[in-house]
């Protein structure tokens, strides 16, 4: 069942604060929204193979997601990223993209984008482009089909690569995200660079984050990107870039390819000083920091009030509690995650 955004309660700009500013003077202009905790992969660093997913009745409806996102746009959010789980497995998800694209048309939103595993891109690339999506993030940790299957458990690399081609044909810019995993793909980084830059895509490397019980030992997986970067200097010339995309990545240009390479380092380099983003789960829980448990329930004010007054108040109160930084650490003694919450629940 689809919906018509114009029938939803419109955000009331008169009651909204002119901007969302946290206690440290950072303007919150970037919202990441999980539309589902479900995924058609079971990546070893993200999920258990036998995941227990939320009852569907607990998830926000597409109408509620549209209204919630629109409220944040009214309050000054300029960039909106749709995440999961895998967002494109949510039934009728394109209705949400079509609805939210109206904020691009009015100029109140600068960017509507998503993070995906690429499994559904062949099906949806053209529609995403028609909705104003100009760039996307696609997760690919290896170009070895057998190893890809082992990492994702259920994934098919050929299907994902076909999705990349579909996005490219549609004119959508692609950034490939790869989680650096010790003993798994650490010697494939050069190949990922050659592939990504050869196809005209950016590449970002990510340190594994201590979120959720994954039936494994993260001390075995963790690979500091400081080590990866030092190794890259054997084969590549890295030129630091002052690029700021509103996310946590620090970028370099690789002289030999001309392409961009990003590093996201929650463990070895705290990137919190410029944090301008918050996350909402598919149940309407707002996390002001990925690495903290403090959260605010937005589902209740969303469902209990036909107007947005109570919702705006709840958002303002939550942003006033946004912490200065996260507390990510891998406990090597207990071999357990910092937080029990899975990344797929929070929104990647």
Q: Which pLDDT score is estimated for 46?
A: 81
pLDDT higher than 50, residue 6: no
On whether the CB atoms of residues 172 and 129 are closer than 8 A, the answer is: yes
Mean pLDDT to the nearest integer, 145-166:
96
In the chain, DSSP assigns E strands to 30-34, 79-83, 111-116, 135-139, 173-180, 202-207, 238-240, 250-254, 260-264, 277-280, 285-287, 295-297
Kindly list the distances between the CA atom of residue 281 and the CA atoms of 46, 84, 348, in Å, as whole numbers in the listed order. 16, 8, 10
Residue-wise pLDDT for 107-144, tens only, equals 999 999 999 999 999 999 999 999 999 999 999 999 99
User: Do the annotations mark residue 43 as ligand-binding?
Assistant: yes
Residue-wise pLDDT for 8-56, tens only, equals 444 444 444 457 999 989 899 999 999 999 999 988 888 777 778 888 8
- The Cα 322–Cα 231 span in angstroms is 36
What ranges in the chain are assigned the alpha helix state H? 62-74, 93-106, 121-130, 145-152, 157-170, 189-198, 218-221, 225-232, 299-304, 309-319, 343-346
* Tokens read off for 329: 């650490």
On whether the CB atoms of residues 207 and 185 are closer than 8 A, the answer is: no
- The Cα 343–Cα 46 span in angstroms is 6
Q: Which pLDDT score is estimated for 332?
A: 47
On whether the CB atoms of residues 42 and 53 are closer than 8 A, the answer is: no
User: Do the annotations mark residue 260 as ligand-binding?
Assistant: no
Q: Which pLDDT score is estimated for 248?
A: 76
**Greatest CA separation found in the chain?**
60
Kindly list the distances between the CA atom of residue 136 and the CA atoms of 85, 164, 166, 260, 295, in Å, as whole numbers in the listed order. 15, 10, 12, 15, 27
User: Do the annotations mark residue 282 as ligand-binding?
Assistant: no
- The Cα 260–Cα 224 span in angstroms is 19
User: Do the annotations mark residue 98 as ligand-binding?
Assistant: no
User: Do the annotations mark residue 46 as ligand-binding?
Assistant: yes
On whether the CB atoms of residues 215 and 347 are closer than 8 A, the answer is: no
End-to-end CA distance of the chain: 26
Phi and psi at residue 251, to the nearest 5°: -110, 150
Q: How many CB atoms lie within 10 A of CB 92?
A: 10
User: Do the annotations mark residue 134 as ligand-binding?
Assistant: no
User: Do the annotations mark residue 222 as ligand-binding?
Assistant: no
- The Cα 301–Cα 28 span in angstroms is 20
User: Do the annotations mark residue 45 as ligand-binding?
Assistant: yes
pLDDT higher than 70, residue 67: yes
User: Do the annotations mark residue 275 as ligand-binding?
Assistant: yes
User: Do the annotations mark residue 277 as ligand-binding?
Assistant: yes
Buried b (16+ CB within 10 A) or exposed e, 244-254: ebbbbbbbbbb
Mean pLDDT to the nearest integer, 258-268:
86
For the chain, which domains are there? 20-178+274-346 (3.20.20.70)
**Which residues sit opposite 297 in a β-bridge?**
285
User: Do the annotations mark residue 85 as ligand-binding?
Assistant: yes
Average pLDDT taken over every residue of the chain: 87
User: Do the annotations mark residue 32 as ligand-binding?
Assistant: yes
The DSSP symbol for 76 reads T
Q: Which pLDDT score is estimated for 208?
A: 84
User: Do the annotations mark residue 272 as ligand-binding?
Assistant: yes
User: Do the annotations mark residue 278 as ligand-binding?
Assistant: yes
On whether the CB atoms of residues 149 and 142 are closer than 8 A, the answer is: no
pLDDT higher than 80, residue 181: yes
User: Do the annotations mark residue 6 as ligand-binding?
Assistant: no
Residue-wise pLDDT for 226-256, tens only, equals 999 999 999 999 999 987 665 678 999 999 9
- Of the candidates 300, 202, 214, 287, the residue with the CA atom closest to the CA atom of residue 250: 202
pTM of the model: 0.86
């Amino acid at each position: 069942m689809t919906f018509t955004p114009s029938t939803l309660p419109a955000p009331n700009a008169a009651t909204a604060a002119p901007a969302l500013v946290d206690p440290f003077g950072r303007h919150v202009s970037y919202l990441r929204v999980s539309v589902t905790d479900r995924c058609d992969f079971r990546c070893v660093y993200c999920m258990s193979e036998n995941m227990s997913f939320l009852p569907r009745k607990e998830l926000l409806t597409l109408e509620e997601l549209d209204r919630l996102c629109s409220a944040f746009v009214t309050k000054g959010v300029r960039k909106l990223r749709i995440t999961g789980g895998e967002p494109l497995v949510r039934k009728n998800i394109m209705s949400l993209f079509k609805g939210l694209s109206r904020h691009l048309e009015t100029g109140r939103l600068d960017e509507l984008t998503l993070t995906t595993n690429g499994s559904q891109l062949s099906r949806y690339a053209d529609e995403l482009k028609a909705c104003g999506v100009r760039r996307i993030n696609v997760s690919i940790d290896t170009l070895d089909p057998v190893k890809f299957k082992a990492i994702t458990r259920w994934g098919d690399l050929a299907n994902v690569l076909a999705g990349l081609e579909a996005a490219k044909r549609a004119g959508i810019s692609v950034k490939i995200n790869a989680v650096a995993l010790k003993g798994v793909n650490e010697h494939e980084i050069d190949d990922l660079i050659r592939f990504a830059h050869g196809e005209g895509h950016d590449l970002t490397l990510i340190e594994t984050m201590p979120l959720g019980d994954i039936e494994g030992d993260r001390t075995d997986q963790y690979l500091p990107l400081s080590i990866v970067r030092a190794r890259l200097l054997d084969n590549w010339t890295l030129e630091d870039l002052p690029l700021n995309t509103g996310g946590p990545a620090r970028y370099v240009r690789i002289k030999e390819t001309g392409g961009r390479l990003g590093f996201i380092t929650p463990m070895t380099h705290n990137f919190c000083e410029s944090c301008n983003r918050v996350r909402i789960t598919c149940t309407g829980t707002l996390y002001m920091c990925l690495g903290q448990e403090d959260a605010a329930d937005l589902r209740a004010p969303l469902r209990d009030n036909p107007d947005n007054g109570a919702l705006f108040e709840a958002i303002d109160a939550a942003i006033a509690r946004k912490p200065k930084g996260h507390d990510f650490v891998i406990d090597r003694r207990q071999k357990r995650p910092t937080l029990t919450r899975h990344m797929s629940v929070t929104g990647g």
